[in-house]
Amino acid sequence: MTQADSIPQNTKNAATIPDRIIRLQTVIDRTGLSRSSIYRAMHAGKFPARFHMPPSGHSIGWSEREIDNFVAELKTAQNKEGK
């Protein structure tokens, strides 16, 4: 068994694609949410957490993969409600 065989099929692509850091404006564009809605949902635990980027720690960003998963979950929930 190779290392790739030990990775579940549905996570093979996620494991091989490097994650990127995206900034607030990109998060707003991808989610369609306002800045205040993002922070409100984040503080309620319903949105991926931001993190401070080195070296200064003053810039913040989000995991692109986490934001993409959040959007996919929203679409799934909307599709279920529409049926």
pLDDT tens, position by position, 34-63: 999 999 999 999 999 999 988 888 899 999
Q: What single-letter amino acid sits at 49? A: A
Greater confidence, 81 or 35?
35
pLDDT at 9 over 60: no
Q: pLDDT band for 16, please (50, 70, 90 cuts).
A: low
Query: Tokens 């993190």 identify what position?
Result: 51
Rounded (5°) CA angle 3-68-22? 100
Is a pLDDT exceeding 90 seen at residue 4?
Answer: no
Residue 74 Cα distances to 54, 55, 64, angstroms? 30, 33, 15
Sequence-distant (≥ 6) Cβ neighbours of residue 22 within 8 angstroms:
30, 61, 62, 63, 64, 67
